[in-house]
Chain A
Amino acid sequence: MTSLHLQFTSNPTDISWHKALERQLTALAQAAGLDALSSTGLQFALVEAVNNIMEHAYANERRRPIDVSGRQDPRCLTFVLRDRGIPMPLPLPDGSPADPMAESGRGWQIIRAAFPGVCYERIDGENVLTLTRPLIGSGATPGAESNTT
């Protein structure tokens, strides 16, 4: 498999999308030559990004659309998350380590550890977050961050 696509609606108490994400992501990561630990790292990060949509973009409101797609090309894995919630505040968190005793503030740390390339755009009322992971040996360099509103 060289692509992934999930469409579901927001529901902070439902985790049925986790299994679908894991299944498709595992196949995509294996096809890209990633080991199991790296694949799980991507899963941790994508779950955080979807959690952010549910918790912040949709403020825990249910039945709002979420679209997650991913693809492999020779140089990198690219995932695009789309929602129609409120815009992300800018600048995006830089993923600096949280105070070890803090209860929050680790989501972006997890996202940025897995995805050196982060691009956020607001396009026609839609939040579009693009996460990029270069593949080892591809010669690709991590994508520079960009924000477009």
Chain B
Amino acid sequence: MSLEHHREQDVDVVHLPPRLVMANAGEARSELKAIISSGKGKVVVNLAKTEFMDSSGLAVIVAGLQAARKMDGDLHLAHMSDTIRALFELTRLHTVFQIFDDEAGAVAAFK
């Protein structure tokens, strides 16, 4: 799959694919955790391209949050569409993530 990833100072910014579902969640989970473990535990997940997600996709993001927090870091979310936000609210995951309108704000919140 190869998640799109770049680093801004000590913050890892990761873009998730248009559909994050059972079919690709395992691979995405492994890649996200590898990115996090190679960094400082400060992670921004950019959802600008993500149009659809199922519970397996949600699990990928929760696994990333857990990995970041184990490193005394955090995982911020950015560019969430209305439909993905509805899914987060339905599953109450919006209560455990910091959600930002854009990537720059999500990165800046680490500083």
Are A and B co-members of a single complex? yes
Which residues of A are interface residues toward B (Cβ below 8 A)?
12-15, 18, 36-37, 40-41, 43-44, 47-48, 51, 54-55, 97-98, 100-104, 106-107, 109-110, 113
Q: With the chains together, A100 CA to B59 CA distance in Å? A: 10
Decide yes or no: A40 and B83 within 8 Å by CB, A100-B93, A100-B96, A110-B55 being known contacts: yes
Name the distance in Å between B89's Cβ and chain A's nearest Cβ. 10
- Is the pair A51, B54 in contact by a Cβ cutoff of 8 Å? yes
Contact A15 B91 (CB under 8 A): no
Q: Which of B19, B23, B55, B82 has the most CB of A within 10 A?
A: B55
Partner of A106, one of B24, B52, B55: B55
The 3 A-B residue pairs with the shortest CB-CB distance in the complex, in nearest-first order: A106-B55, A103-B59, A100-B96
Which residues from B are CB-within-8-Å of A101?
62, 65-66, 96
Is B48 part of the binding interface, using a Cβ–Cβ cutoff of 8 Å? no
Could you tell me if B86 and A100 are in contact, using CB atoms closer than 8 angstroms? no
Residues in chain B within 8 A of chain A (CB atoms): 19, 21-24, 52, 54-56, 58-59, 62-63, 65-66, 82-83, 86-87, 90-93, 95-96
Docked CA distance A107–B65 (Å): 19
Contacts A18-B19, A103-B59 known; list 8 others, CB within 8 Å. Answer: A18-B21, A47-B21, A55-B22, A97-B92, A106-B59, A109-B91, A110-B55, A110-B91
What residues of chain A lie closer than 8 Å to B23, measured between beta carbons? 12-15
CB-defined contacts of A100 to chain B, threshold 8 Å: 92-93, 95-96
B10 CB → nearest A CB, Å: 24
The reply to whether A48 and B55 contact each other, CB–CB distance below 8 Å, is yes
CA distance A113 to B43 in the complex (A): 30
Q: Which residues of B contact A51 (CB under 8 A)?
A: 21-22, 54-56
A37, B86: Cβ atoms closer than 8 Å? yes
Which residues from chain A contact B82 at a C-beta distance below 8 Å? 37
Expressed in whole angstroms, the Cα–Cα distance for A36 and B91 within the complex equals 19
How far in angstroms is the closest Cβ of chain B from A56? Answer: 12
Contact yes or no, A109 B66, CB < 8 A: no
The CA of A51 and the CA of B57, in the complex, are separated in Å by: 12
In the bound complex, do residue B22 and residue A54 qualify as a contact, i.e. CB atoms below 8 Å apart?
Answer: yes
Interface pairs (23), CB distance under 8 Å:
A12-B22, A13-B24, A15-B21, A15-B23, A37-B83, A37-B86, A40-B83, A43-B52, A47-B21, A47-B52, A47-B54, A48-B55, A51-B22, A100-B92, A100-B93, A100-B95, A101-B66, A101-B96, A103-B59, A103-B62, A109-B91, A110-B54, A110-B91
